[in-house]
């Protein structure tokens, strides 16, 4: 990435899932020309990554792919030999990836500070979610406090801000916002398992289905899957 400073309005973390796709469209309307940052971190399947790239292409947003040297253990999302859980409990599930959002935000922060970008957007949500600690408002607040004391921009009084606009919305509310913005949900991918069609059983499939149901909207990913049968 050799583009000069101040060219991008912001950085948007893009995963290929529903929340971050909505976020990209939401941010793009308010702050034209965001940079979408997509992380390759040893995911079980490429489907999520392909979805992220397809969404960015559709949105006309430039992508920075970042390869992250994550450990190969510690999560069912990194270890294909571990079984994915099929129901939500009140415990943090084994799909939790150690320090994932901390690492992603740190790298986005490094790029933001190096390129003079002052906003980093992340699509985390702490309402209809799997209980990951790094998706909660208290985490975002603590990360921002750390930026203020730990970066040059921070101590000079113009800290980069991590912004999580959807953190206290329901999945249905996010889907309604996205639908009004024309987010191509048929290109997104939420299922932990990869494959041709969503498994319908993992945490992530269940939360997505609940969101569309509560929003009273058909999930275009399922309609297109049905059409292709």
Residues interacting with a second copy, by CB under 8 A? 1-2, 5, 66-75, 92, 96-103, 105-107, 109-115, 133-134, 136, 138-139, 142-143, 145-152, 154-156
Minimal distance, residue 5 CB to a second copy, in Å: 8
Residue with tokens 């960015």: 56
Could you give phi then psi for residue 87, rounded to 5 degrees? -150, 155
Closer to a second copy by CB, 10 or 75: give it: 75
Could you give phi then psi for residue 37, rounded to 5 degrees? -110, 125
Minimal distance, residue 215 CB to a second copy, in Å: 29
Minimal distance, residue 225 CB to a second copy, in Å: 33
Minimal distance, residue 99 CB to a second copy, in Å: 4
Closer to a second copy by CB, 46 or 110: give it: 110
- Using CA atoms, how far apart are residues 216 and 200, in angstroms rounded to an integer? 18
Core vs surface per residue 185-206: b (16+ CB within 10 A) or e: bbbbbbbbbbeeebeeebbbbb
Closer to a second copy by CB, 1 or 195: give it: 1
Closer to a second copy by CB, 34 or 211: give it: 34
DSSP assignment of 40-93, as one string? ES--S-SHHHHHHHHHHHHHT-EEEEEE----S-S-TTT-TTSPPP-S--SSPP
Closer to a second copy by CB, 119 or 176: give it: 119
Residue with tokens 């987010």: 183
Closer to a second copy by CB, 31 or 115: give it: 115
Neighbours of 155 (CB within 10 A): 11
- Using CA atoms, how far apart are residues 101 and 129, in angstroms rounded to an integer? 14
Minimal distance, residue 158 CB to a second copy, in Å: 13
Minimal distance, residue 105 CB to a second copy, in Å: 8
Nearest to 123 by CA among 177, 78, 80, 87: 177
Nearest to 143 by CA among 157, 128, 164, 127: 164
């Amino acid at each position: 990435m050799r583009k000069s400073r101040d060219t991008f309005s912001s950085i948007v973390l893009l995963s290929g899932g529903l929340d971050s796709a909505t976020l990209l469209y939401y941010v793009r309307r308010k702050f034209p020309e965001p940079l979408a940052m997509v992380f390759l971190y040893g995911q079980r399947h490429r489907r999520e990554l392909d979805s992220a790239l397809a969404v960015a292409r559709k949105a006309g947003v430039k992508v920075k792919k970042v390869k992250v040297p994550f450990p190969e253990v510690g999560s069912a999302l990194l270890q294909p030999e571990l079984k994915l859980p099929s129901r939500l409990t009140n415990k943090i599930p084994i799909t939790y990836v150690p320090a994932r959002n901390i690492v992603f935000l740190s790298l986005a922060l490094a790029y933001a500070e190096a390129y003079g970008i002052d906003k980093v957007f992340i699509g985390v949500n702490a309402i209809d979610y799997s209980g990951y600690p790094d998706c909660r408002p208290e985490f975002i607040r603590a990360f921002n406090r750390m930026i203020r004391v730990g970066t040059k921009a921070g101590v000079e009084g113009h800290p980069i801000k991590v912004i999580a606009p959807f953190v206290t919305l329901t999945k249905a509310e996010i889907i309604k916002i996205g639908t009004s913005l024309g987010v191509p949900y048929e290109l997104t991918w939420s299922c932990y398992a990869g494959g041709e069609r969503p498994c319908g059983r993992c945490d992530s499939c269940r939360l997505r289905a609940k969101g569309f149901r509560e929003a009273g909207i058909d999930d275009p990913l399922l309609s297109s899957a049905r059409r292709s049968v």
